[in-house]
A = this chain, B = another copy of it.
Amino acid sequence: MAQLRADARRNRERILAAAEEVFAERGASASTEEVAARAGVAIGTVFRHFPTKDDLLAAIFKALLARLVSEAEELAGSGDPKTALFAFFTRVVEAAAARRTVAELLTGGGAGLRLGGALRALDEPLGTLLRRAQEAGAVREDVRLEEVTALLAAASQAALLSGWTPELQDRTLEIIFRGCRP
């Protein structure tokens, strides 16, 4: 699979972009046909590039996860330790409000578990964020990574609720953050 033909490469990109949108809007249960339609491509083409719907989903989830991980790493490196963890938390929930895929990723791939522990990639940078916050005295010592990830997944799901607004988000996250502080 060295060099793709030009049209093949172009179609592959279109399919990924379309899948990104469709799954963000409708969730992982959206049909492959809808992805093909939005990409302006026949179904067979989608399956040529991604033999299985799960392969396509995995590609989307993997890219999404990579984005979250790099955002966390960035904040862990350059952000204020006192606020970086909460800033990351807020960003993730905001992303979840915009795309169903975020919550589905964080809760283990929606229906089936198509990502074998890949989620653990978040543990390292998130752990760093947590440790720095604790060292800076911004978070209680007895808060563990496990609780943070659970709350992150929970809040991301909540962001999909029908009455969710930026204001409600602020108020809800503030409760969670307050509970984490010493």
Contacts and interface: CB of A to CB of B under 8 A. Distances in A.
Interface in A156-171: 157-158, 160-164, 168, 171
B163 A146 contact: yes
Interface in A87-120: 107-108, 111
A175 interface: yes
Count copies of this chain in the complex. Answer: 2
Contacts of A155: 154
Instruction: Specify the main secondary structure of chain A where it touches its partner.
Output: helix
A177 interface: yes
Contacts of A111: 29
B150 A172 contact: yes
A147 B161 contact: no
A177 to B, nearest CB: 7
Contacts of A29: 111
Nearest to A164: B150
Contacts of A146: 163, 168, 171
A180 interface: yes
7 contacts: A108-B162, A144-B171, A146-B163, A146-B171, A147-B172, A151-B172, A175-B176
